[in-house]
Amino acid sequence: MKRMAVCAAAAAVLAVAPASEALAGKRYAATITRTTYGIPHIEARDWRGVGYGVAYAYAEDNLCLMAEEFATVAGERSRFWGPEAKAVLGFEEVDNLSSDVFFRAVIDLPALREGAKTLSPRVQDLLAGYVAGYNRFLKDAGTEGIPAECRGKAWVRPITADDMLRMNEKQMLLASSLNLAPAIANAAPPGSPAPKVAINMPDPRELGIGSNGWAFGSDVTANGRGMLIGNPHFPWKGPSRFWQMHVKGPDGYDVMGVGLAGTPLPTLGFNKDIAWTHTVTEARHFTLYQLVLDPADPARYMVDGKSEAMTPQTVTVPMPEGTAPVTRTLYSTRWGPIFIIPSRGITWSAQSAFALKDANRGNQRGIETWLRIGEAKNVGEVEAAVSETLGIPWVNTIAADRFGDALHADVTAVPNVTAEKAKTCATPIAPLFAELAILLDGSKAACDWDAAPGTPVPGLMPASDQAATTVKTWLTNSNDSYWISNPAMPYRQLSPILGRYATARTLRTRSNFTETAALIAGGKIDHARAQAHAFANKSLAADMVLPELGTLCTGAEGAAARGCAVLAKWDGRFETTSRGARLFRAFWPAAAQIKGLWAVPFDPADPVGTPRDIVTEGETGAKLLAALERTVTTLEDQGIALDSEWGSEQLVLAGNEAIPIHGGPGGLGILNMQESERAASGKLIPRHGTSYIQIVGFDDKGPVADAILSYSQSTNPASPHAHDQTRAYAAKKWHRLPFSAEAIAAEAIGKPKRIAE
């Protein structure tokens, strides 16, 4: 077998050589080789070719999704799908008209075009190549080659450089301004009609945004080298799905991993020396400003006693054919656009208004940051990349290298607002916003972000004031703040804009610390043990509650007794074969809200072990049984068996095939998070959760990577790669990723595709 693989690799090299000569002189050229699960390996001699090949391969797998996203960022959803229809924007559903108004008003194309001129030549080449590659696919596919779902649609069109600028800006704003799109798009002066759409201020913790990441150093791994487990939790549908790729470019660039729609290279993955992943950070990447308005004009506001005019911007949104376009005028200030959230008392009155200033608006540094990470030879160079560029928009960076070092860097494009500034610039209502954002006084120029030397943009917080740790043991993050990445080494207190300090951690974070400590106590970590750790499907909530609940259940009657009987036999896990998981999933959210539930309150000195010990006596015990009774009755009324197998309840439909999905909600302390929504059938369909899972270690030759993409590569139902990895995920079947030329040749599906123009 080894001899056959070597021969195959040699044949592949011989086949590429004459083709490379034929591609000489072409402006864009790339070779795409597909391996198991349709993973593309893109090879190009320059950065234009890299972007060209990545875009072409992505369009092969996800054209309809990508074409729709280009229409979204261009503000054309109302025209093609109607103004009242909805689509996922960021991580929430938003009506099309609000989406269109937001993109047409907030994305400043002239500024982005000017900013693009300052990008490094290689980033400019990547973007130009991506445009050419996407358009080349459209040309090659022709009408009949377009997937049935979007064939003949007017929104499937060639793209331009402007489309890529809009797409990049949207990705940068994904966890900040984008989630306030309706609030910005529907802001109007006092006396205007009330908005016709619901507007809220989502808390990222309530959106299901998540991820887990682990970096293990030489002290705890079996071979004394670094090891990484990446488990980002991202949507199963829409443009925020991950897509696998392997890119070999100029100057030795050789990186395998994943990216989102429109990213021209891997944004998390590995090379021969380092592996990295990301988790959504708790740091806030924007601040809110409360404005004092000029009594003579609600479109003017006061700063240091002087009146300033808001800047009006009129945008026109095209409607479906035969319908007149919609025109709106939005207003902006030195602090950013005006926004409203009436349900939270954020309104535009004659006396006050609110504005939002976003650190990621105009952030075009991300691609260069990820290029530098992909070129890194150790975690020190990874930290330097994120620190010097401040281009990472809204995620932690967790990395490990072959030399046995582990890194957690919560270093992003964040406003430079110190604890002192947050205090002195607070308004009387600032405490009402503390859980979601920092509210500052917009009537004082001194309340602007502080400029620090050495940052790429004035007003950003320097990396030295953010959190970064390198160790030989282990570090992890499950979306709680920088305070604790390893319970043995809490971080010093930093600005509140970077997250909560010395406060209770989520059950998923506590589960992470508990399970990781048990993993390390069980011996040195290798791939097999890391795999079991990633897919253990244990619920910390169940571990903490079931024993006491058993005592409480003594003497229970009726529906509560039926629920108690099922939970007594449940294994406390969310495996596809677990019976009782559906009941506990429905019961725990209600139980967790009961006041006085825990006998031992949170203690900052024991953040992993507290709060704990549920109260089963008196009023609290009665409320717990009542919650269980209501849950049982509701499920039985819906025709859901209390003891059904979890895999028959949480599933993905692939045509007529039902694929059982393991894992469960992070709020139950489950590391393998799957947030699902109830379908009309009563079944639970994954919406957001475990996506691209990678376990990467290193041997003498290079990376050793096992991975799986839970929702598979392609969104085209006709593709053989629409559900193949989903079946593998359901079976916990890992894939050893082919990285070397020999491994790629051995796994190749069909012949390499060479494209050039």
Give dist(CA 346, CA 442) in Å, integer: 14
Q: What is the pLDDT confidence band of residue 19, given thresholds at 50, 70 and 90? A: very low
Q: Which candidate, 703, 714, 709, 699, places its Cα nearest to that of 733?
A: 709
pLDDT, tens digit, for every residue of 490-512?
999 999 999 999 999 999 999 99
The pLDDT assigned to 6 comes to 36
The pLDDT assigned to 663 comes to 98
Q: What is the pTM of this model?
A: 0.94
Q: What is the pLDDT confidence band of residue 23, given thresholds at 50, 70 and 90? A: low
Mean pLDDT across 527-555: 95
Residue 419, class by beta-carbon neighbours within 10 Å (0-12 exposed, 13-18 middle, 19+ buried)?
middle
Residue 185, class by beta-carbon neighbours within 10 Å (0-12 exposed, 13-18 middle, 19+ buried)?
buried
Give dist(CA 378, CA 375) in Å, integer: 9
Q: What tokens appear for 13 in the block?
A: 């090299």
Q: Is the predicted pLDDT of residue 13 greater than 50, yes or no?
A: no
The pLDDT assigned to 207 comes to 53
The pLDDT assigned to 301 comes to 98
The pLDDT assigned to 179 comes to 87
Q: Is the predicted pLDDT of residue 12 greater than 50, yes or no?
A: no
The pLDDT assigned to 88 comes to 83
The CATH classification number of 2-185 equals 1.10.439.10
Contact criterion met (CB below 8 Å) for 565 and 579: no
Mean pLDDT across 75-87: 95
pLDDT, tens digit, for every residue of 295-304?
999 999 999 9
The pLDDT assigned to 272 comes to 98
Residues of the chain with CATH 1.10.439.10: 2-185
- Give the list of residues 6+ apart from residue 254 with CB closer than 8 angstroms, or none: 247, 248, 271, 272
120 is catalytic: no
Q: Is the predicted pLDDT of residue 123 greater than 50, yes or no?
A: yes
Q: Is the predicted pLDDT of residue 250 greater than 90, yes or no?
A: yes
- Give the list of residues 6+ apart from residue 402 with CB closer than 8 angstroms, or none: 225, 226, 272, 273, 274, 698
Mean pLDDT across 418-438: 93
- Residues forming a β-bridge with 353: 291
Mean pLDDT across 208-222: 91
Q: What is the pLDDT confidence band of residue 727, given thresholds at 50, 70 and 90? A: very high
At position 741, the amino acid (one-letter code) is: A
Architecture of domain 540-662: Orthogonal Bundle (1.10)
pLDDT, tens digit, for every residue of 371-411?
999 999 999 999 999 999 999 999 999 999 999 999 999 99
pLDDT, tens digit, for every residue of 479-493?
999 999 999 999 999
Residues of the chain with CATH 1.10.1400.10: 540-662
Q: Is the predicted pLDDT of residue 558 greater than 90, yes or no?
A: yes
At position 230, the amino acid (one-letter code) is: G
Give dist(CA 666, CA 687) in Å, integer: 13
Q: Round the CA-based radius of gyration of the chain to a whole number and report it.
A: 26
Q: Which of 211, 218, 478, 676 is catalytic?
A: 211
Give dist(CA 177, CA 188) in Å, integer: 17
Mean pLDDT across 429-433: 91
Give dist(CA 647, CA 662) in Å, integer: 7
The pLDDT assigned to 11 comes to 37
DSSP for 720-752 reads TTSSHHHHHHHTT--EE---SHHHHHHH--S--
Q: Which candidate, 208, 204, 363, places its Cα nearest to that of 284?
A: 204
Q: What is the pLDDT confidence band of residue 22, given thresholds at 50, 70 and 90? A: very low
Give dist(CA 149, CA 62) in Å, integer: 11
Q: What is the separation of C-alpha 173 from the centre of its chain, rounded to a whole number of angstroms? A: 12
Q: Which candidate, 30, 520, 650, places its Cα nearest to that of 229?
A: 520
Angle between helices 109-116 and 161-172 (to 10 degrees): 100
Q: Are strands 336-337 and 326-333 parallel, antiparallel or unpaired?
A: antiparallel
> How many Cα atoms occupy the beta-carbon half-sphere of 72 within 13 Å?
28
Q: How many residues does the chain have?
A: 757
Q: Which candidate, 715, 581, 577, 594, places its Cα nearest to that of 238?
A: 715
Q: Which candidate, 259, 256, 238, places its Cα nearest to that of 247?
A: 256
- Give the list of residues 6+ apart from residue 409 with CB closer than 8 angstroms, or none: 382, 383, 386, 387, 396, 397, 398, 399, 466, 467, 468, 469
Q: What rounded mean pLDDT belongs to the chain?
A: 94
Contact criterion met (CB below 8 Å) for 35 and 238: no
pLDDT, tens digit, for every residue of 252-276?
999 999 999 999 999 999 999 999 9
Q: What are phi and psi of 383, to 5 degrees?
A: -60, -40
pLDDT, tens digit, for every residue of 563-598?
999 999 999 999 999 999 999 999 999 999 999 999
Top pLDDT among 511 and 207 is at 511
Contact criterion met (CB below 8 Å) for 602 and 610: yes
Contact criterion met (CB below 8 Å) for 608 and 487: yes
Q: Is the predicted pLDDT of residue 8 greater than 70, yes or no?
A: no
The pLDDT assigned to 4 comes to 38
